[in-house]
Structure 1
Amino acid sequence: MDLAALLQTYGYPLLFLGVFAEGESLLLLAAYLAQRGYLDPYAVAATAFVAAVCGDQFLFHLGRRRGIVLLNRFPRLRDKVGGALARVERHQTKFVLSMRFLWGLRTALPIALGLTTMSALRYLWLDLISAAVWSVTVSFVGFTAGRVVMRAVEDLHRYEKWIALALLGLGAFALAIRWRLKTRA
């Protein structure tokens, strides 16, 4: 099976899982691959949008139902959420609209917002707006960056399999280090 067939078969489910769990690195890669013609750019942005909303909603409702238990069980999460909880309560709308762009807080903020007085319906509407802006913006950046790279390096197609594998490997390595650091804490 060649790279194109693999991406067409597994690209969107992998993108969904990657965005649900991590964020933009896989979206940038998928947007680049869309620029190369392996994936549909609109489907990439739509998949990222749905995954972002699903991930945010899961974490919000987890915070709403089990937030105190999570904070007591995971001290690092408690440190992130606890210090920001008063600010999050005061500026709920600003935090929901910007949380997809705040690296390092993407897990903590939805959980913290679940602990506030914000209604689930209000959170959903604001999250839909935030995820739409984020998915289109990051997809556009990845697609445009791919176009710039292609102009700079005309024969990149000879190396695209290796580049895609290297980017996937780097992403997996970063996730492994992150997981390892979390398990040590």
Structure 2
Amino acid sequence: MFEHIDFTHLLATYGYLAIFVGCLLEGETILILGGMAAHQHVLKLLPVIGYASLAGMLGDQLLFWTGRYSGARLLPKLHKQQATIDRVTQLINQHPTVSIFSVRFLYGMRLLGPMVIGASGVSPLKFASINFLGAVTWATLFASAGYWSGEFLEGILGDLKPYRLSIALGVVGLMLVLALVRHFRVKTRAALKHP
């Protein structure tokens, strides 16, 4: 079924769009794949970082403004996420600048974090400027990780072109496994705290 798909053409045609859309939400997996595609000269590394930074920043800005205008009404309804909300609130109270910068790097806080920060009354200008720095740092780290993973795999496998689809599926699978492991660790910790 997949042998007739020109994966290189798909990447070259829709790669930047996929990176932008993927990074509006979570983005790490698509960003690593974008970095690998840049290593293979299908995409260019700087535009990958640029589109990812822009999308990551825009997504967080939307969530921030949602929290600012609707957080008092929305956040109390998110009972299952209360532990995450409490963690972000504690971070903001103790280290507001660090929390804005690092929230995108902390598992489980990428979507809720900016909403909680918006609801906390942090200045929009402060959030936007620190969010921009965080987004660029995040995009650079993950795209570079993908780029150097491509370098590493090329050293082992040689020409990666015949393996592109398998590598993409492998990266997606690995990220899903890591997400499941983290999810169950968080659930286990919560169950141990509140038996």
Q: Place the TM-score, normalised by the shorter chain, in its bin.
A: 0.7 to 0.9
- The one-letter code matched in structure 2 to 1:136 is T
CA distance 1:152–1:166, change in 2 (3 Å): closer
Matches within 5 A, 1:1-185: 2-168=6-172, 170=173
Whether the 8 Å CA contact 2:39–2:150 is kept in 1: the answer is yes
Tell me the SS of whatever aligns to 2:140. Answer: helix
Instruction: Give the Cα separation in 1 of the matches to 2:143 and 2:88.
Output: 29
How far, CA to CA, are the matches of 1:44 and 1:83 in structure 2? 31
Relative to structure 1, the CA distance from residue 84 to residue 166 in structure 2 (aligned partners, 3 Å threshold; closer, same or farther) is: closer
- Work out the CA distance in 1 between the residues paired with 2:72 and 2:125: 21
> Contact 2:88 / 2:109 at 8 angstroms: preserved in 1?
no
In structure 1, how many angstroms separate the alpha carbons of the residues matched to 2:11 and 2:110? 27
Task: Give the TM-score of the pair, scaled to structure 1.
Answer: 0.84
Task: Provide the C-alpha distance between the structure 1 equivalents of 2:79 and 2:152, rounded to a whole number of angstroms.
Answer: 43
How many correspondences in the alignment? 177
**CA RMSD in angstroms, aligned pairs only:** 2.5
Alpha-carbon spacing, 1:171–1:13, altered in 2? closer, same or farther (3 Å) = farther
Cα shift at 1:84: 3.7
Q: Deviations over 1:43-101 (max 9, x none)?
A: 10101100110111011111111112222322123332135414313311010111222
How far apart, CA to CA, are the structure 2 residues paired with 1:38 and 1:165?
A: 17
Q: Is the 8 A contact 1:101 1:134 kept in 2?
A: yes
- What whole-Å deviation, never above 9, does each CA across 1:100-145 have from its counterpart, x for those lacking one? 2212211121111101121101100011111111111111111011
2:84·2:108 contact (CA, 8 Å) conserved in 1? no
Aligned-partner residue type, residue 70 of structure 1: L
The one-character-per-residue Cα deviations of 1:148-167 (angstroms, maximum 9, x if unpaired) are 11011114322223332454
* 2:191 paired residue number: none
Q: Percent identity?
A: 29
The residue that corresponds to 2:189 in the other structure is none
Q: Distance in 2 between matches of 1:86 and 1:145?
A: 36
Rounded Cα–Cα distance in structure 1 between residues aligned with 2:76 and 2:59: 22
Change (3 A) 1:44 1:118: same
Residue type matched to 1:57 in 2? Q
The unaligned stretches of length 5 or more in structure 2 are 181-195
